[in-house]
Amino acid sequence: MINSNNVSRINIHRILTEQINLSSAGLDTKSTNEIVNLFSEADKEPQKAVQNAIPEIVKAIDEITERLKSNGRLFYIGTGTSGRLGVLDASECPPTFCTSPDFVQGIIAGGISSLTKSSESLEDVSKIAILDLENRNFSNRDVLIGITASGRTPYVLSALNHSKSLNALTISISSVPYNDSKLSNDVDIRLITGPEILAGSTRLKAGTATKMALNIISTSVMIKLGKVYENRMIDLSVTNEKLLNRALGILLDISSVNEEEALQLLKDTNGSVKLSLLIALSGRNINEAKRILEASEGNLRTALIKVKSD
């Protein structure tokens, strides 16, 4: 439903993400080659945007890590493209880092059906966001990353305000400068990518920058939680042939075991690459390795230091 008063009050045409990109004027008259070159040039902007936001991204990673170490959980919330990007990042954590599906969660306005069907009308319904958090028992131990390219989406702002009222850690990701948005959270990440090639279509540069930032945040947090050794994903879930081959490759590359021994270790440890590595690198039996790993809070490098100091 169109409400002219709301349109006038918001002045959405003034928001950076809604402005006209002069470089794509006459877009509908350009050749395919010209269009592709425009997009290729424009997609350099998300990299610059992420680089300019490094201090805020670093702060977010460190603060998220501390919450998760204290039995907190990480939530993404958004609508449309922003919500889908959060759900995508959350859904990749269990197979990549062997986390429980509850540990990192993505919430999109309208639920699962909104992943494939448009539900823009829900962007303006503030109360739904609070219910979506309450249904997941969101608490002050948790972290909420609110994703809103415009910095003004009522559904996301409502979720962030509710989280602040609980003293949860609140982080926002937007694509507008401070004077375009009233966002005020523990960390506000501004990914300034400028007007889109297709005016207002924030699934383009703004979406790309957001995906890049989410990749960095979730992966860095998992590294700091001990789910990576060197540059290998040692907490991956061995659930198919591809992941079995990856697990075997990690064991063969890092330890001195052969393929037969690596397979046996994975069988003995129910597919735990981390535990298999500790056994292979330390020479300890499975029970001792489990004890050492538990005492090291699941960090393989710390566990190996403990072994050397014993």
Given the residues 18, 56, 123, 196, the one annotated as active site: 123
CB 230 within 8 A of CB 254: yes
Which two tokens mark 16?
A: 């950076």
Q: Which residue has the tokens 């989280």?
A: 163
Which residues on neighbouring strands pair with residue 63, listed in sequence order? none
- Interatomic CA distance for residues 264 and 269, integer angstroms: 9
Active site residue 92: yes
Which residues on neighbouring strands pair with residue 144, listed in sequence order? 75, 170
- Interatomic CA distance for residues 177 and 174, integer angstroms: 8
Q: Which of 239, 271, 269, 273 lies closest to 253 in space, CA to CA?
A: 273
Burial of 19 (0-12, 13-18, 19+ CB in 10 A): middle
Given the residues 92, 259, 260, 288, the one annotated as active site: 92
- Would you list the DSSP string of 59-70? HHHHHHHHHHHT
Query: Which residues are marked as active site?
Result: 92, 123
